[in-house]
Structure 1
Amino acid sequence: MLFTKVNGRGDSSDSKMTKFVTFGGRSFSIRALPDLDLLYDSGNDIEHRMAAEASDVFNCPVQDGPNVVRYDRDKTSIHVGPKPISITSGRLGSLSLIFVGLANPGGVLLYSLPLNSERPRFESTWIGLSDAFKSWDELYMETGLGGITVTDLSFIPSHQTGSGVPWLLVAGSKSGTVTLLKIKGNGDIPYFPSRADSLKSSAVTVVIYSLLLVTVLTAT
């Protein structure tokens, strides 16, 4: 892992390093208005989740060519890690949702935030890569890539979708795709704050469960 020498020193320029600052954004934070006081930082949670949920593409750089995707895993761990580069939020009943888009290689992590809580709970992961045992070239030719390098996310609430459930639009700049995902809550997700305590139950989960549409964009 690489560290910078620019940050991390004490008050004087010749003082010793008091903390280590690495390269690459690897977490997301929640801050309070108006002073932006730090309430929560995910730390290394994203990397732990990716290692558990998508180990074949863990910290995998997006490539072109004949490389088998799985063999490129772990190559961005030293410099930038999963590189979360987009974030958006939404609601499902009284449950707040946080969606974090990753650059390496792509995909979305979903966290929930119960009412009056400052600590998100991990819910699920969506990876827009159909087969890590194929090469990048094969996946591009077969349109087996979606949401690779997620540079933008847009949440569409259920009352605007016409389907009764919210959607998430995922823009993948490297795959050249826009992916439409459904968001589903399992369990009793209350719409009223008086019932928000039930969200602490592990029986309530939120999942990204259905790939509805992938539109391949033409590069200009």
Structure 2
Amino acid sequence: MLLFSMLAAAIAPGIALLAYFYWKDRYDAEPLPIVIKLFLTGALTVLPVMIVQRALLLWLGESPFAFSFIVSEGVEEFIKWFVLFHIIYNHTEFDEPYDGIVYATAVSLGFATLENVLYAFTEPVTFGMLLVRALLPVSGHALFGVFMGYSMGRAKFSSGKQIKLHLVLSLLLPVAAHGLFDFIMKTVPSRWLWIMVPFMFILWLRGIRSVNRANSVSPFRLIKREEEVKS
């Protein structure tokens, strides 16, 4: 019973956050099978990420900056980006800017959920510690996915040089945010909570603004308004 409770506590935050961003899609909800597929694909990337990170750690050492922005977050966000770009970027269901956020958070939260499960069963943790992880690393992964997906959505519906610009930003923004997250955790160990709480607050504000902006330029917005007027 305890094992089941720990498993549920490790999985629930990722599922809840994915449901939140999925339901934030105001105009054209994405097919659940594709969202679930990307969630599971994100979980499957944990093993290759761990292997690459171990190799880089042996090569670059444990410098806080190198670990935060290259070994840990650089590898994680690049592989998420790679999966997202090659599986969904040219998919026919990616037909509005907000779709990038849905699909990117699915990949990110799949990764974060399996990472959370492994942490719960390989480390001496309590439910309180899992709650802290739900509020910080897991929600952090969701927000890094929002930044990635928002920029990829802009790239998808841009033209000319703007496409490359937003594709680059779709990788650089989550790497920067995620790297800064880990850098704070590593370099301010005694008072990290006083810095991390306002930092997460800023990330959430930026994430919600990205959600609203992506919805506001949906091509289905006017169609839905017309349907509402007719009804």
When normalised by structure 1's length, the TM-score is 0.32
Structure of greater Rg = 1
Name whichever structure is richer in helix by fraction: 2
Asked which structure has the greater RCO (Cα within 8 Å, sep 6+), the reply is 2
When normalised by structure 2's length, the TM-score is 0.31
